[in-house]
Amino acid sequence: MWMKVALFATCLVDNFYPHVAESMVRILNHCGVEVEFPEAQTCCGQPAFNSGYQEQARVVGRTLLDAFGNYEYVVSPSGSCTGMIHHYYPYLFDSNPGLAGHARELVTKTYEFSQFLVNILGVTDLGAQFAHTVTYHPSCHGSRLLGVKQEPLELLARVRDLNLVELPHAQDCCGFGGAFAVKMSEISTAMATEKADWVTETGAEVLVGTDMGCLMNIGGRMRHMGRPVRVMHLAELLLEGMEQGSGVRG
Amino acid sequence: MSAGAKDRTSVIERSHAALQDDFLRAAVRFTTDRLKDRKHGATEELGRWEEWRERGREIRAHTVSHLDYYLRRFVDNARAAGAEIHFASDAQEASAAVLGVVHAKQAQLVAKSKSMVSEEIHINRRLEEQNVRVVETDLGEYIIQLANEMPSHIIIPAIHKTREQIKDLFTRDGGQNLGTDTKALVTFARRKLRETFLTADIGMTGCNFGVAESGSVVLFTNEGNADMVSALPKTHIVVMGMERVLPTFADLEVMANLLPRSATGQKVITYMSVITGPRRAQERCGPEELHIVILDNGRSSQLGDDEFRDVLHCIRCGACLNVCPVYRHIGGHAYGSVYPGPIGAVLTPLLLQGEEFADLPNASSLCGACYEACPVKIPLHDMLVALRRRAAGGPRTKRAERAAWRGYALAFAKPGRYRLVTRMARLAQTPLQHDGYIESTWGPLMGWTNSRHAPALAPESFRDRFSRMKQDVRTIKSDPQ
């Protein structure tokens, strides 16, 4: 098996968390997948779209249509940005006959990372080993808009020595919500505080997720509260586990 | 309307007050958690919940898209059964219709059962202005009336009140030596309310559903108070939103499965009353006159609006409130109008133009829990975005906000500019960062940095790093396992 995919890094990972995208590349390589990074991509436009500025979202989102036109698969480290494409791109580009078709096509070939591994590659066991207590926060857009619920858990279930503890009220939003976190700061902080309290209650050493926006929010809140927890994207955890376990040697 | 609305406060200011109130937050958390758990149990037990939701959506969508036909049928059949129909285009006309009946009957006391639409037209205030006494007979509404407040939840109006606060309210209302024991409190309320049922001149209710095929008004309660209010006084006034219609009793059966499960996690509502016309000659109870006030109050403009027509599907179950993480922390009053939670954040700015409601669509992280919980699948999160779009760039948005999004579009529309801008930001942050985090709590992002550490931009972006990465693609014969 050999395939080539395009990586949609998302603006957040590109600028703040490059190691997350790098971990994805390593894991995909390990699964026999070559990764390309089309430089025309910037951002999916979601920050502007959710704030009501759709024209601005459209001009930015267009960079993705330009970047990924020639690829069979597009893979992203974010359920939220993937959800933006799936849920809103057909609507956003509907009025432009030249782009509407491209937008619909992008929907059919764009996958969130765990979704791509489990559903397209059929991989759940990466030979990883990670001897830590971990709790998982299911991000709202990934799980609700995109319907990625089981995939991250299936991947975590196959990591040896990993002690997964359930996060109470896991499905409650962490309060990120993009511009919401700044605009409605106090409400957002109350939500993040409750999430942080539940994470602390699990006693987990590591909080894992599939969206760096949410993880930046929860991790940033916990650090501010003086209760830092190690925050990891699923791809980082899996790669670190593969280096510990048999994965990379296999 | 709440004091907050009168003061023209924003949702930010109102929620600030709510967030300082630990009693309120604990009470809301406790009750919404319980309702959520019970709903989960009740829907699991029923099975095929997603199919039930879809059926519910279909019924509401069909009815709303043929509302002129079904409303006409409902009205014709209700008239044939002896009801008198009053159409009201707004709150003022609805109040006038109610007051017209009240004056004709020279009524002194009106007994009400719980009704959101009557809250919407503020009928209690209108009646009190005319020196007519109004008593709410739903226990939660009774508590709220004694406290002189608005309901803070569609189904559980006094969700924010603690047992201690209720004891104090009842004691002030004439209860002697009441403890916080549930039985003592309920006994007191029951005694007071029974007097009301027996002496009221007029009974007033809302309408959960109007069945078009028979012209019947259907009421759902758990306390049976709507039965009392609609059967004992000589005159019964129903106030119903014009969208409350269902075509047939078969449709009602679907709603009778969806509504109580979604609202409180009950398999079945305790009392469901179907009222078709006033008392007939051979009947021994029921009112002599039945008046039905059908209220538009902005609904027909939603009907003509493709983006918001689905909001008329709402069956007022409150499930979206129980799952909403924003409602969970700020409670109902912070929304500033009679409809709180996600449904309120959509409905209120559509119904009311006031500045104090303009910010409501922003009071959501767009997590989508409301849509997932809605028994008739109203896409509330999409509607919140649509409301933001209608407000964007308008006079109520800040100049800095408009400039920020213009700047974003300018910088992020071209990869070359994006690279330049992010490189410049990397340089600019140098004096502010420490150990991978930005330490400054000043500037446009202080809403974030006041309560959260902000990560610094990585020393090198992924796109810069990628060009040097060597990929070692493993060749796999068949399956990567």
CATH number at residue A71: 3.40.50
Joined tokens for residue B377: 């699948």
SS3 sequence of chain A: CCEEEEECCCHHHHHCCHHHHHHHHHHHHHCCEEEECCCCCCCCCHHHHHCCCHHHHHHHHHHHHHHHCCCCCEEECCHHHHHHHHHHHHHHCCCCHHHHHHHHHHHHHEEEHHHHHHHHHCCCCCCCECCCEEEECCCHHHHHHCCCCCHHHHHHHCCECCEEECCCCCCCCCCCCCCHHHHCHHHHHHHHHHHHHHHHHHCCCEEEECCHHHHHHHHHHHHHCCCCCEEEEHHHHHHHHHHHCCCCCC
Do B294 and B49 form a contact (C-beta atoms < 8 A)? no
Shared-domain flag, residues A116 and A166:
no
A171 contacts in chain B (CB < 8 Å): 369
Which of A42, A54, A140 shows the shortest C-beta gap to B418?
A: A42
User: Of the candidates A83, A103, A120, which is a domain's last residue?
Assistant: A120
Instruction: Show residues of chain A in contact with B330, CB under 8 Å.
Output: 187, 190
Number of domains observed in the structure of chain B: 2
Q: Is residue A249 domain-resident?
A: no
Domain limit, last residue, from B281, B301, B321: B301
In this predicted model, what pLDDT tens digit does every residue of A82-110 receive, in sequence order? Answer: 999 999 999 999 999 999 999 999 999 99
Q: Is B458 at the interface with chain A, CB within 8 A?
A: yes
User: Cβ–Cβ of A15/B422 closer than 8 Å?
Assistant: yes
Rounded percentage of chain B residues whose pLDDT exceeds 90? 81
B427 in contact with A, Cβ within 8 Å: no
Task: Judge whether A250 lies within some domain.
Answer: no
Query: Are B17 and B138 in the same domain?
Result: yes
Q: State the best of A60, A121, A197 to mutate against chain B, taking most chain B CBs within 10 Å.
A: A60
Query: What average pLDDT score do residues B376-398 get?
Result: 94
**Which residue in A17, A49, A53 has the most chain B C-beta atoms within 10 A of its own C-beta, making it the best mutation to test that interface?**
A53
Contact criterion met (CB < 8 Å) for B367 and A173:
yes
Q: Which of residues 176-205 of B touch A (CB under 8 A)?
A: none
Q: Is residue B448 part of a domain?
A: yes
- Is B43 a domain residue? yes
Domain boundary among B301, B320, B337: B301
Q: Do A50 and B474 touch (CB under 8 A)?
A: no
Answer yes or no: do A156 and A64 share one domain.
Answer: no
Residue B141, pLDDT above cutoff 80: yes
Which of A79, A102, A120 lies at the terminal end of a domain, its last residue?
A120
Determine, for residues B447 and A183 on separate chains, whether the beta-carbon distance falls below 8 Å: yes
Contacts of residue B283, Cβ cutoff 8 Å, sequence gap at least 6: none
Task: Assess if residue A189 is contained within a domain.
Answer: yes
Whether B465 has its CB under 8 Å from any CB of chain A: the answer is yes
The rounded Cα B313 to chain-centroid distance in angstroms is 13
Residues B419 and B296 in one domain: no
B437 with A223: Cβ contact below 8 A: yes
pLDDT-derived band at B5 (thresholds 50, 70, 90) equals very low
Residues A134 and A220 placed together within one structural domain of the fold: yes
| Cα B130-B350-B75 angle, rounded to 5 deg | 65
Whether residue B362 lies inside any domain: the answer is no
Assess if residue B59 is contained within a domain. Answer: yes
Task: Note whether B278 and B421 are same-domain residues.
Answer: no
**Whole-angstrom distance, CA of residue B285 vs CA of residue B333:** 39
Complex prediction ipTM = 0.95
Contacting residues of A for B418, CB less than 8 Å apart:
11, 42-43
Inter-residue contact A109 to A74 (CB < 8 Å): yes
**Minimal Cα distance from A91: which residue of B?**
B382
Provide the domain limits for residue B456.
413-466
CB B383 within 8 A of CB B347: no
pLDDT of residue B481 exceeding 70 = no
For residue B218, give the CATH number of its domain.
3.40.50.10420
Residues in chain A within 8 Å Cβ distance of B457: 15-16
Q: Could you tell me if residue B408 is inside a domain?
A: no
Q: Do B453 and A224 touch (CB under 8 A)?
A: yes
Query: Count of domains in chain A?
Result: 2
Of B364, B445, B462, the CB nearest to A22: B462
The chain-wide mean pLDDT, for chain A, equals 96
- The side-by-side arrangement of strands in the sheet containing A110-112 is A33-36, A3-7, A74-76, A110-112
Is B391 in contact with A52 (Cβ distance < 8 A)?
yes
Is there a single domain that holds both residue A218 and residue A156? yes
Q: Are B310 and B61 in contact (CB under 8 A)?
A: yes
Nearest residue, CB atoms, A189 vs list B387, B451, B463:
B451
Partners of B374 in beta bridges: none
Taking only the tens place, the pLDDT of each residue in A204-220 is 999 999 999 999 999 99
What is the predicted pLDDT for the residue at B478? 52
Based on the domain organization, do A173 and A236 belong to the same domain? yes
Kindly report the average pLDDT of chain B as a whole number.
93
What confidence tier does B446 reach under pLDDT thresholds 50, 70, 90? Answer: confident
**Chain A within 8 Å of B61 (Cβ-Cβ)?**
no
User: How do residues B183-214 score in pLDDT, each as one tens digit?
Assistant: 889 999 999 999 999 999 999 999 999 999 99
Per-residue pLDDT tens digits for B24-66: 999 999 999 999 999 999 999 999 999 999 999 999 999 999 9
pLDDT-derived band at B475 (thresholds 50, 70, 90) equals: confident
User: Within a domain: residue B384?
Assistant: no
Distance (Å) of CA B47 to CA B50, B262, B319, B374: 9, 13, 18, 16
For chain A, say whether B404 makes contact (Cβ under 8 Å): no
User: Could you tell me if residue A230 is inside a domain?
Assistant: yes
Q: Please state the separation of Cα A82 from the chain's center in Å.
A: 8
Q: Give me the domain span that covers residue A182.
A: 126-244
Domain co-membership, B96 together with B238: yes
Question: By mean pLDDT, which of A128-132, B1-5, B270-274, B369-373 is the weakest?
Answer: B1-5
Kindly list the residues from chain A whose CB atom is less than 8 angstroms away from the CB atom of residue B440: none
Query: Residue A239 is part of a domain; what is its CATH number?
Result: 3.40.50.11810
Same domain for B138 and B279, yes or no, is yes
Contact A195, A175 (CB under 8 A): yes
| Residues of chain B contacting residue A186, judged by C-beta atoms under 8 Å apart | 12, 15-16, 19
Query: What are the structure tokens assigned to B64, written together?
Result: 């709303």
Same domain, A135 and A220: yes
Residue type, A170: A
Instruction: Identify which of B447, B454, B472 has the shortest CB distance to residue A220.
Output: B454
Residues 6+ apart with CB under 8 A from B82: B277, B278, B280, B290
User: Chains A and B: how many Cβ contacts under 8 Å?
Assistant: 217
Question: Do the Cβ atoms of A11 and B451 come closer than 8 Å?
Answer: no
Other CB atoms within a 10 A radius of the CB of residue B335 amount to 32
- Identify the band that residue B4 occupies on the pLDDT scale cut at 50, 70 and 90: very low
Closest residue of chain B to A121, computed from CA coordinates: B480
Is B69 touching A (CB cutoff 8 A)?
A: no
Residue of A185, A211, A231 to mutate, interface with B, max B Cβ within 10 Å = A185
Q: Are residues A154 and A230 in the same domain?
A: yes
Residue A120: its chain B contacts at CB < 8 A? none
**Does residue B133 form part of some domain?**
yes
Contact B474 A31 (CB under 8 A): yes
- Of B271, B301, B331, the residue that ends a domain is B301
Cβ pair B409:A184 closer than 8 A: no
Write the pLDDT tens digit of every residue in A172-213. Answer: 999 999 999 999 999 999 999 999 999 999 999 999 999 999
Contact B473 A2 (CB under 8 A): yes
Same domain, yes or no: A94 and A149: no
**pLDDT interval class at B480 (50, 70, 90):** very low
Q: Do B422 and A144 touch (CB under 8 A)?
A: no
Neighbours of B404 (CB within 10 A): 18
What is the dihedral angle through the alpha carbons of B460, B464, B470, B474, rounded to the nearest 10 degrees?
Answer: 90
Hey, what amino acid is at A108? T
Question: pLDDT tens across B80-101, in order?
Answer: 999 999 999 999 999 999 999 9
Instruction: State which of A81, A105, A120 marks the end of a domain.
Output: A120
